[in-house]
Structures are given as structure tokens and as C-alpha cells.
Amino acid sequence: MSISIKGKKDIENMKIAGKKAAAVLKMLEKHVVPGVTTKELDDFAFKFITEDLKSIPANIGYNGYEKTLCTSINNVICHGIPDEQKKLKDGDIVNIDVTVLHDGWHGDTSRMFSVGKVAPHAQRLVDITRDCMYAGIEQVKPGAKLGNVGHAIQEMAEKNYYSVVRDYCGHGIGKVYHEEPQVMHYGEKNTGIELKEGMCFTIEPMINLGTPHTKLLDDGWTVVTKDGKLSAQWEHTIAVTDNGYEILTLGEKEII
């Protein structure tokens, strides 16, 4: 396994791309309301990235994907395709995932949005999934094992009676959108590769209300929970620093 090590200038460039990706999610906040279609959200994001941020929506053309965003509603785990027929409803939870390409570097992030008045059990899943992501991020430091990240996420999820999706994972990132290492969101402590300063990767746990089992729909992209229950996901791009980690996709005024 060959894992690229980024220099300080590389990481600064990735942070620029990451901040732009975070800005897309911030911009979308006011648009995520009952009645909006996921196609409309995608159009807002495309215009903002290309015109305001002077950047490239990295998802378009990736393995044939045709949209700027992935919009995953309720029981959709990941890779939901924006569609003019899909309107957000009061009570929905939706993950919006965006990757911005700027000056050759990728910034990849996602977050959950709660639409209107959300049921307490759905909001709890959203909140605990965010906690799971940060539990994993806090394990990142040079000399630590990558398995510590997955172990912390799994422990947080399962103590709250949720399950961790095992079929999809985080990934290395830089000039290449998806590269080594694969970042599992479950696992054992002190296993896996040793983290080194300059490694960059995403941590993006997908946490299910029911079982961890998944189903890929006929469109070849959309992944749903096999039992039809809710799923949530949060994602940040992380760099390993000399004494810990840096979140490269942190939004302005975002509180950890």
C-alpha cells in the first residue's frame, strides 16, 4: 500500500479547497427547507462553486456521475442522486456531500440537515453520528494506528444502540480524489497502518438506526438501508500534523 505524504504547502492548498467545500454547505443552509427539490439544491451548489468560488465540482464526471452533490434522504445511506422529483418534506433528515476541486486539490465534506420539525429519534441519530465522527477524528495523531479511528467510532455508535455501515469507508485524498488508505469506521484498537505526519484522509461514518446491512439500487449509485430504517453521515477531511490533527474542511464559526 502506497500512501502519499503531503508537505505543509500541499496541506495549505488542501485547506483552501476544504474551506470552499465547507462554504458550499453553509450556503445551502437557507435552501434546505420543505418543498425544495434535491435538483434545485444541486443547481444552487453548481452555480456557487463555479461562479462564486471559481472552482470545479469534483463529483461531475467521476465514474460517470453527473451531479455536483450527493443528497441522501432518510433511509439513503450515501450517494443519493439529486432529482427534480425528490422534494424535501417536513421531518426529513438529509446528508449533503460535496467535493470541491481547486488548483488541483480536493476538499471533501458532508453534513446532515434536519428539515423542519424532525422526530426526536431522528435528531438523536443525526447528533450521535456527528459525535461518532469527532470520536474518530480525536484518535488521529502521528504514531497512532488507523484502527483506533474505526474502534472509537464503532464504540460510540454501539453504546448508543446504533450500527456502523461496513460496506463503505473513508479514503485518502489530495490531488487524487480517492486514494489509499481506506478508513474503516469500525475495528480494533492498535491495528492497521501507523499514522504519519502529512497523511490526509476523510473520516465519514455512516451510522444506521437499525442493522448495518446495505442495498445498492438499480441506478448504480444510491445505497439504502436494507431494513428501510434511517441512516446518518457526517464527513471531514483530516490532515495528520506533527502532534495531532487538523480538520481541513472546518467551516467558519463551526464549533467542534
Q: Give 187-198 pLDDT, tens digit per residue.
A: 999 999 999 999
Least Cα distance to 98 among 48, 65, 58 occurs for 58
Pairing label, strands 245-247, 236-240: antiparallel
101 half-sphere exposure, CB direction, 13 A CA radius = 13
Say which residues have a Cβ less than 8 Å from residue 150's Cβ, sequence separation at least 6: 136, 183, 184, 185, 186, 187, 192
Mean of per-residue pLDDT scores for the chain: 98
Report the CATH number at residue 177: 3.90.230.10
Is 2 within a domain? Answer: no
User: Does some domain include residue 1?
Assistant: no
Measured distance CA(64)–CA(73) in Å, rounded: 22
pLDDT tens-digit map of 133-182: 999 999 999 999 999 999 999 999 999 999 999 999 999 999 999 999 99
Asked whether residue 227 is domain-assigned, the answer is yes
Q: Residue 164 sits in which domain range?
A: 8-247
Total number of domains in the chain = 1
Residue 233: closest CA among 207, 254, 212: 207
Q: Report if residue 3 sits inside a domain.
A: no
Q: Is 118 helix (H, G, I), strand (E, B) or coil?
A: coil
Is 241 a domain residue? yes
DSSP 186: S
